[in-house]
């Protein structure tokens, strides 16, 4: 879906007079609009609530709540590779504040949209799995490797694969007693989708950490959604990676609590193994 504000501006000439008033207010004051109830926006723009709903649907959204969430998310940007979004005159404290503020805001938004019932189902599946695999490509591969380091300490059969050929071979061996956790910011990496679909065809439960509405989300039995709008052509996908790492921590700690003394004992043994290295 195109970036919201440029898309909205480009459609102004095609909108009715009433819908254009709504669009113009959103373009002029996006932060205020993202916090408004539909009745408040309709009153400010001097239109009816159905006019607001029709505008949202014209833009491809389900309604005002869906549009409002995406609008708020679009106001949070990542860290540009070339720093074009930063003011050349920013001092170091300002630079640091912008980066940390963006990250904190995005993490809170993911926290608030993460469905507790889906997290609980994921932990249930993981606690019963014969084998757990984490698949991710590129930046998501970093998250997959981090997940392996966290989960294997519970004395579980865990592996992370970040090569697409290995993922396809491994997916062919997964079955109903296993769990595949597929990780992707966009949810559109073709090779990851192919491996995930292969595992799914073998009856393997799929847990996806990805954007809602993505092709990967459509393959998931359990979706742990992470809706962060980052233009990965211009921006380093740092914030989505932080959110995915946080979700992995939620799963790891939830599983540790579920396993109880067994997990504590395994963790103690791994720490004992490091004593001579410090």
pLDDT tens digits, residue range 139-182? 999 999 999 999 998 889 999 999 999 999 999 999 999 999 99
Give the dihedral sign, CA 260/261/265/268.
positive
Residue 183 has pLDDT above 70, yes or no: yes
Residue 1 has pLDDT above 60, yes or no: no
- Give the residue among 95, 182, 112 at the shortest CA–CA distance from 147: 182
- Rounded to an integer, the average pLDDT of 177-188 is 96
Q: 125 or 9: whose pLDDT is higher? A: 125
pLDDT tens digits, residue range 262-274? 877 877 788 778 7
- Rounded to an integer, the average pLDDT of 87-102 is 79
Q: Give whole-number Cα distances, 196 to 87, 134, 135, 175, 190, in Å.
A: 42, 11, 9, 12, 10
What does the alpha-carbon distance between residue 96 and residue 25 come to, in Å, rounded to a whole number?
31
What does the alpha-carbon distance between residue 169 and residue 249 come to, in Å, rounded to a whole number?
27
Beta bridge partner(s), residue 136:
183
Q: 219 or 237: whose pLDDT is higher? A: 219
Token pair for residue 46?
Answer: 């001097």
Residue 235 has pLDDT above 80, yes or no: no
Rounded mean pLDDT of the chain? 88
Identify the band that residue 134 occupies on the pLDDT scale cut at 50, 70 and 90. Answer: very high
Identify the band that residue 83 occupies on the pLDDT scale cut at 50, 70 and 90. Answer: very low
pLDDT in the model for residue 81: 46
Options 1.10.760.10, 3.40.50.720, 1.10.10.10, 2.60.120.330; CATH of 4-74: 1.10.10.10
Dump the DSSP string for 125-163.
Answer: HHHH-SEEEEEE-THHHHHHHHHHHHHGGGS--EEEE-S
Residue 106 has pLDDT above 50, yes or no: yes
Token pair for residue 7?
Answer: 């898309």
What pTM did the predictor assign? 0.70
Pairing assessment for the beta strands 178-183 and 131-136 based on DSSP bridges: parallel
Query: Span 113-277: which CATH code?
Result: 3.40.50.10490
pLDDT tens digits, residue range 32-78? 888 899 999 999 999 999 999 999 998 888 899 989 888 887 776 55
For residue 146, the number of C-alpha atoms closer than 13 Å in the C-beta half-sphere is 17
- Rounded to an integer, the average pLDDT of 103-126 is 90
Residue 79 has pLDDT above 60, yes or no: no
The SS3 of residue 79 is strand
- Rounded to an integer, the average pLDDT of 115-136 is 97
Which of the 8 DSSP states describes residue 15? S
Q: Where are the domains of the chain?
A: 4-74, 113-277
Residue 208 has pLDDT above 80, yes or no: yes
pLDDT in the model for residue 91: 84
Pairing assessment for the beta strands 79-80 and 235-236 based on DSSP bridges: antiparallel
Q: Decide if 70 contacts 4 (C-beta within 8 A).
A: yes
- Give the residue among 148, 140, 125 at the shortest CA–CA distance from 243: 140
- The stretches of the chain forming alpha helices (DSSP H) are 4-10, 17-28, 30-34, 38-45, 49-58, 64-74, 92-113, 116-128, 139-151, 164-171, 190-201, 215-219, 238-259, 261-272
- Give the residue among 246, 237, 248, 239 at the shortest CA–CA distance from 138: 237
């Amino acid at each position: 879906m195109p970036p919201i504000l440029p898309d909205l501006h480009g459609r102004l000439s095609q909108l009715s007079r009433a819908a254009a008033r709504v669009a113009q207010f959103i373009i002029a004051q996006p932060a205020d609009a993202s916090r408004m109830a539909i009745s408040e926006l309709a009153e400010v723009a001097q239109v009816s609530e159905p006019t607001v709903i029709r505008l949202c649907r014209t833009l491809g959204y389900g309604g005002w709540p869906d549009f409002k969430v995406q609008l708020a998310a679009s106001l949070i940007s990542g860290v540009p590779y070339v720093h074009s979004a930063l003011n050349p005159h920013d001092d170091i404290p300002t630079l640091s504040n912008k980066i940390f503020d963006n990250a904190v805001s995005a993490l809170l938004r993911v926290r608030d949209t993460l469905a507790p019932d889906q997290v609980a189902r994921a932990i249930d599946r993981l606690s019963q799995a014969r084998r757990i695999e984490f698949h991710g490509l590129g930046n998501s591969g970093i998250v997959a490797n981090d997940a392996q380091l966290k989960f294997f300490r519970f004395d579980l059969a865990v592996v992370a694969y970040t090569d697409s050929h290995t993922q396809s071979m491994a997916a062919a061996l997964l079955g109903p007693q296993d769990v595949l956790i597929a990780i992707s910011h966009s949810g559109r990496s073709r090779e990851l989708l192919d491996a995930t679909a292969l595992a799914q065809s073998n009856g393997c439960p799929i847990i996806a950490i990805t954007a809602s509405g993505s092709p990967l989300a459509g393959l998931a039995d359990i979706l742990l959604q992470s809706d962060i709008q980052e233009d990965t052509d211009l921006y380093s996908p740092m914030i989505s990676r932080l959110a995915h790492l946080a979700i992995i921590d939620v799963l790891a700690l939830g599983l540790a609590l579920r396993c109880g003394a067994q997990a504590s004992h395994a963790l103690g043994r791994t720490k004992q193994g490091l004593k001579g290295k410090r």
